[in-house]
């Protein structure tokens, strides 16, 4: 059965206003059933690259929504940035990933181009595999550092060579869009230990194909955050591998007495891109991709296991029945259905644990969206620690879902014991204490997740500050939901002092969680600009 998958990597001329970036991402997400894989913004380039995948029809709808939202929010007449650009939705390429041809992606580009021209009144130029004429296959023929929005606006109405493929030959505030279909490419930048952008430009001329350099490299020199940058598109990383590019730049840089300080990946890259570089630099000539641990694990998980299909038999000599261990509720729909069923478990305690896990997951996500970004280099180590801590909390809170179910089952089993059975009251009390301990621990873990949410709300990637706010809200729901379960179990404690201790503990946790909620939400509102 075919499952066609298309990747779209639109480049938008906005990298400085988080609210606009979030509006574009939200429009893409809400337009169709697609998956946004990555969002990468650069304030110096004033540019954002969004990567999403989905079925062809869904990707086409989502791309239109992104272009329309960008046109509504970005005014090219006042736009400035290091990167060349023609319009608000500057370049929109479609890439065949699975069970789809380049020709089908070109058809998507042409349909979208016509719709953008007709409905939005934006001039559209088709490029690469979707191009209608040979001289427009190369993006550099349509747009360069010397021919951008301002230059196109001057000639589009009079120069026959600049007539758009779709839409009017008039430049509005949204500018023009270049839409096409192409193979996968990797956006890769190399930073030099100098602020002399002329050196970066000379090195770019040496490595790019159009100037006699490497076949599948497009390059230009920029000044980014006071540092010279060789900005590149590697259009075929298999035929011109990244290690060859980096080593050539290193040699060229030595001519000018400078060195490479670091490199930067924009967006996503295939696994083979990194494997090829590792094989070359480590000189592992006989290395094969299936030597990667994660690759082998994925293979193993894809194979059916007979043990997963049925419960193992209970030994005849077993002294007591072996309880059936329920599978974790990994799929949201399955978990929600289980909660909705006419069964006492999973109930409020499990839902509280899940809310806590989601709080930790969001904090982890924001931290990971912050690491590796040069803008946030000063908090790199903090964010790495936050991501690791949040991942640990997420795992513990997901495990607490099953623990809550088991605790409830233990209480029910204790109450079902014959009333005349010796030690029954003690068994009941022990089960109640255990049933209170689990949500109390959930509250503590969720509070820890909220503390991490506060870190990422105040210091993490501004583009994801709203996600930090949601993390705090989910964390508070987890703490307050767990508190209900603590109190309902302590109400049946025989020990008054023990009851008071549990009540005091959970009350303090709830009070602290509410303070954190206010702090995180305030920070998120301030950094997103939505606060009063």
Helices 56-73, 102-120: crossing angle, 10 deg rounding: 40
Edge-to-edge strand ranges of the sheet holding 227-234: 217-224, 227-234, 186-192, 260-266
Encoding tokens for residue 303? 């194979």
Contact 458, 525 (CB under 8 A): no
DSSP string for 41-55:
EETTTTEEEEEEEE-
The values of phi and psi at residue 180, to 5°, are -165, -170
Closest CA to 446 of 326, 317, 353: 353
C-alpha dist (Å) from residue 270 to 43, 186, 236, 277, 520: 25, 8, 11, 12, 36
Strand partners, 233: 187, 218
3-state SS assignment for residue 96: strand
Preceding omega of 346 cis (within 30 degrees of 0): yes
Contact 135, 141 (CB under 8 A): yes
Strand partners, 190: 230, 263
Distance CA 165, CA 173 (A): 19
Distance CA 52, CA 491 (A): 51
Distance CA 273, CA 261 (A): 21
Encoding tokens for residue 62? 């989502």
Catalytic residue among 83, 209, 262, 399: 83
| Residue whose tokens read 């059975």 | 421
Encoding tokens for residue 148? 């951008």
Residue 147 makes CB contacts below 8 A (sequence gap 6+) with 84
Does the annotation count 83 as an active-site position? yes
Distance CA 34, CA 39 (A): 14
Active site residues: 83
């Amino acid at each position: 059965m075919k499952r066609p998958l298309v990747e779209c990597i639109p480049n938008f001329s906005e990298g400085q206003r988080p609210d606009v970036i979030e509006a574009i991402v939200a429009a893409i997400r809400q337009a169709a059933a697609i998956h946004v894989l990555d969002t990468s913004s650069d304030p110096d380039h004033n540019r954002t690259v969004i990567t999403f995948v989905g079925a062809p029809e869904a990707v086409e709808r989502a791309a239109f929504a992104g272009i329309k939202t960008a046109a509504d929010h970005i005014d090219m007449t006042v736009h400035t940035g290091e990167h060349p650009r023609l319009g608000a939705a500057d370049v929109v390429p479609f890439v065949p990933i699975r069970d789809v041809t380049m020709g089908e992606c070109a058809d998507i580009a042409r349909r979208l181009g016509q719709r953008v021209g007709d409905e939005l009144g934006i001039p559209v130029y088709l490029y690469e595999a979707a191009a209608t004429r040979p001289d427009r296959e190369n993006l550099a023929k349509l747009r360069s550092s010397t021919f951008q929005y301002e230059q196109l606006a001057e000639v589009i109405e009079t120069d026959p060579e600049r007539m758009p493929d779709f839409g009017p030959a008039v430049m509005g505030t949204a500018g023009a869009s270049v839409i096409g279909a192409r193979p996968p490419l990797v956006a890769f930048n190399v930073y030099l230990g100098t602020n002399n952008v002329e050196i970066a430009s000379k090195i770019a001329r040496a490595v790019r194909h159009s100037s006699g350099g490497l076949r599948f490299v497009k390059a230009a020199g920029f000044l980014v955050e006071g540092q010279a940058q060789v900005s590149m598109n590697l259009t075929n990383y298999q035929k011109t591998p990244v290690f060859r590019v980096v080593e050539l730049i290193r040699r060229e840089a030595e001519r000018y007495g400078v060195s490479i300080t670091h490199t930067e990946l924009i967006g996503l890259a295939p696994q083979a891109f990194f494997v090829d570089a590792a094989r070359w630099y480590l000189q592992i000539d006989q290395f094969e991709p299936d030597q990667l641990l994660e690759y082998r694990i994925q293979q193993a998980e894809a194979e059916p296991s007979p043990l997963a299909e049925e419960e193992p038999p209970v030994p005849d000599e077993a002294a007591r029945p072996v309880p059936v261990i329920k599978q974790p509720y990994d799929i949201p729909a399955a978990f929600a259905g289980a909660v909705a069923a006419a069964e006492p478990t999973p109930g409020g305690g499990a839902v509280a644990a899940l809310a806590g896990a989601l709080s930790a997951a969001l904090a982890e996500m924001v931290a990971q969206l912050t690491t590796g970004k040069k803008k946030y280099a000063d908090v790199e180590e903090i964010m790495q620690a936050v991501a690791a801590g949040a991942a640990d909390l997420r795992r513990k809170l997901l495990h607490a879902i099953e623990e809550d179910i088991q605790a409830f089952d233990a209480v029910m089993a204790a109450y079902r014991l014959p009333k005349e059975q010796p030690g029954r009251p003690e068994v009941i009390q022990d089960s109640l204490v255990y049933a209170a301990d689990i949500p109390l621990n959930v509250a503590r873990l969720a509070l820890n997740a909220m503390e991490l949410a506060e870190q990422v709300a105040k210091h993490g990637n501004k583009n994801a500050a709203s996600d930090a706010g949601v993390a705090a809200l989910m964390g508070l729901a987890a703490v307050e939901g767990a508190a209900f379960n603590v109190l309902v179990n302590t109400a049946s404690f025989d020990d008054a002092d023990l009851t008071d201790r549990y009540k005091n503990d959970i009350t303090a946790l709830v009070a602290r969680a509410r303070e954190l909620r206010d702090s995180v939400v305030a920070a998120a509102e301030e950094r997103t600009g939505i606060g009063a």
